[in-house]
């Protein structure tokens, strides 16, 4: 994960703007400063590529982990921070080091400070800093996490809640789940890939309404945080996320919200409380009158893509990453060099992954990758797949083929 490799994969994925990640790490920040140059106000590209058509741009970003005690409980909250320039990034690091935090220990440093206090510290450094709670539903490290989070934004952030204009869904939830939360009625729902390797970039992304020639930090943040700025989001199927359902991985117990209501929250194998998943946590916190399924419409476009639409919110689409699709088409593992080679060939001939998944005609896909790949992508576009939901840290299992009858029997999807 170096800037050149990140930019290479971002181009393959169809990502125009990429978060740098880990600006709080002193060595990484210096490397970013040496390898990037400003291509617009607060926006950066690889040195020498400022005028290159199609160059990938970077925003300075990082994720901070706050672990502290509040209300008699240990809280663990992850906060995504977007900063307007290198000077501000250095000021943040200096302030955190002055408070005794070891920033060199990890790319996502652990800070012993309440997230509401951290938000105030950051805004005092520069009011243009953007604060977005990360993967807000995961049980262990998030705003609404069942094991270490809060029941509301105000409880978590106090007076600083007004600074939170957008929240990040995480892989185990989708926008419709978040629309049910009263807290989030006035917040924007954004989706990012939270990648730990270049190949995992773009699992989720947010597409904003902003001409590429007008890129600047302030305009990007306005698009993310204000109504009307988001065009659509690309989502992981939330059932594939590793915390979608509740359960115990080691005990092999997995339960949907419906099963939780019938069987309870205690593991029948070990007798300990189950790790409550995202679907259950949403069920616990949602307001029944905040969102109705009647407002969610499935619309198929000319390419067979199923769009989830709500008249009051940006639409979204759920996809399976192309590398995962290729692995099933070829019946090999994700780490297979054959898959990487095929992926590179497809993105060379058909364009970026986002274009392949959303905008390439079936006959174009068949010419480049064969009939089986065409069928697989069409099934993913239409949602005709089978997913064994993830739980307690275990990713869900996607099967593109299995038949509609098998899908009805095996696919456990909680209803929202």
How far, in Å, CA of 59 to CA of 283, rounded? 35
Please answer whether residues 383 and 174 qualify as being in contact, where contact means their C-beta atoms are separated by less than 8 angstroms: no
pLDDT digits (tens, 9 = 90+) for 142-184: 999 999 999 999 999 999 999 999 999 999 999 999 999 999 9
Answer whether residue 416 shows pLDDT above 70.
Answer: no
Nearest by Cα to 308 from 219, 215, 238, 397: 238
* Backbone region of residue 62 per phi and psi (left: phi > 0; alpha: psi in -120 to 50; beta: other values): beta
User: What DSSP designation does 115 have?
Assistant: H
* Backbone region of residue 370 per phi and psi (left: phi > 0; alpha: psi in -120 to 50; beta: other values): left
Q: Between β-strands 230-236 and 246-248, what pairing exists: parallel, antiparallel or unpaired?
A: unpaired
In the prediction, which pLDDT does 23 show? 97
User: What DSSP designation does 276 have?
Assistant: -
pLDDT digits (tens, 9 = 90+) for 124-144: 999 999 999 999 999 999 999
pLDDT digits (tens, 9 = 90+) for 334-376: 889 999 999 999 999 999 999 999 999 999 999 999 999 999 9
Nearest by Cα to 144 from 315, 13, 279, 38: 279
Backbone angles phi, psi at 231, to 5 degrees: -80, -55
Q: Enumerate the CATH 3.20.20.140 domain ranges in the chain, comma separated.
A: 3-239
Give the chain's radius of gyration (CA, Å).
Answer: 21
- Exposed, middle or buried, 128 (CB in 10 Å: 0-12/13-18/19+)? middle
Tally Cβ neighbours within 10 Å of residue 393: 14
The topology under which CATH files domain 3-239 is TIM Barrel (3.20.20)
The average pLDDT across 370-390 equals 97
- Classified as helix, coil or strand, 377 is helix
Rounded to whole angstroms, what are the CA distances from 329 to 224, 332, 377, 396?
36, 8, 10, 18
Which distant-in-sequence residues (6+ apart) come within 8 Å of 72 by Cβ?
A: none
Nearest by Cα to 218 from 84, 362, 52: 84
How far, in Å, CA of 173 to CA of 152, rounded? 17
Share of the chain above pLDDT 90, in %: 86
Nearest by Cα to 125 from 73, 163, 165: 163
Answer whether residue 411 shows pLDDT above 60.
Answer: no
Least confident of 59-73, 235-249, 289-303, 367-381: 289-303
Nearest by Cα to 188 from 157, 226, 219: 226
Please answer whether residues 317 and 232 qualify as being in contact, where contact means their C-beta atoms are separated by less than 8 angstroms: yes
E-strand ranges in 31-121 read 36-40, 43-46, 57-70, 73-83, 110-111
pTM above 0.85, yes or no: yes
How far, in Å, CA of 130 to CA of 68, rounded? 22
- Classified as helix, coil or strand, 179 is coil
- Classified as helix, coil or strand, 78 is strand
The average pLDDT across 204-226 equals 91
Q: Residue 174 CA to chain centroid, in angstroms?
A: 9
Nearest by Cα to 159 from 112, 124, 116, 114: 116
How far, in Å, CA of 271 to CA of 282, rounded? 24
Question: Could you identify the residue written with the tokens 């990140």?
Answer: 6
pLDDT digits (tens, 9 = 90+) for 239-278: 999 999 999 999 999 999 999 999 999 999 999 999 999 9
E-strand ranges in 142-263 read 166-168, 188-190, 205-208, 230-236, 246-248, 253-255
Nearest by Cα to 107 from 28, 170, 36: 28
How far, in Å, CA of 257 to CA of 195, rounded? 28
In the prediction, which pLDDT does 214 show? 81
Least confident of 6-10, 257-261, 287-291: 287-291
């Amino acid at each position: 994960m170096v800037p050149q490799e990140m930019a290479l994969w971002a181009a393959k994925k169809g990502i125009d703007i990429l978060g740098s990640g880990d600006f709080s790490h002193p060595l990484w920040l210096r490397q970013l400063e040496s390898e990037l140059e400003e291509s617009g106000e607060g926006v950066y590209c690889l040195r020498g590529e400022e005028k290159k058509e199609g160059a990938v741009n970077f925003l300075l970003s990082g994720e901070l982990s706050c672990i502290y005690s509040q209300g008699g409980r240990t809280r663990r909250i992850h906060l995504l921070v977007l900063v307007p320039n290198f000077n501000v990034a250095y000021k943040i690091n200096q302030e955190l080091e002055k408070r005794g935090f070891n920033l060199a220990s990890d790319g996502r440093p652990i800070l012993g400070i309440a997230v509401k206090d951290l938000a105030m510290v950051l805004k005092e450094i520069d009011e243009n800093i953007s604060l977005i709670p990360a993967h807000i539903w995961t049980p262990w490290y998030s705003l609404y996490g069942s094991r270490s989070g809060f029941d509301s934004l105000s409880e978590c952030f106090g007076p600083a809640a007004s600074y939170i204009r957008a929240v990040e869904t995480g892989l185990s939830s989708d926008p419709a789940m978040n629309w049910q939360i009263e807290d989030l009625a006035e917040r924007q729902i954004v989706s990012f890939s939270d990648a730990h390797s270049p190949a995992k970039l773009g699992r989720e992304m947010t597409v904003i309404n902003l001409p590429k020639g007008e890129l600047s930090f302030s305009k990007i943040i306005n698009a993310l945080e204000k109504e009307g700025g988001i065009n659509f989001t690309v989502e992981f199927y939330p059932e594939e996320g590793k915390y979608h359902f509740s359960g115990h991985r080691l005990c092999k117990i997995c339960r949907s919200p419906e099963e939780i209501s019938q069987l309870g929250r205690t593991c029948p194998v070990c007798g300990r409380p189950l790790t409550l998943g995202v679907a259950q946590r949403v069920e616990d916190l949602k307001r029944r009158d905040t969102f109705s399924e009647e407002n969610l419409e499935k619309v198929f476009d000319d390419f067979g893509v199923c769009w989830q639409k709500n008249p009051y919110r940006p639409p979204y689409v759920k996809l399976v990453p192309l590398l995962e699709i290729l692995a099933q088409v070829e019946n090999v593992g994700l780490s297979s060099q054959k898959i990487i080679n095929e992926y590179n060939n497809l993105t060379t001939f058909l364009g970026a992954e986002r274009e392949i998944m959303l905008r390439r005609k079936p006959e174009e896909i068949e010419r480049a990758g064969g009939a089986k790949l065409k069928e697989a992508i069409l099934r993913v576009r239409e949602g005709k797949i089978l997913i064994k939901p993830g739980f307690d840290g275990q990713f869900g299992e996607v099967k593109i083929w299995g038949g509609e009858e098998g899908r009805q029997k095996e696919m456990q999807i909680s209803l929202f």
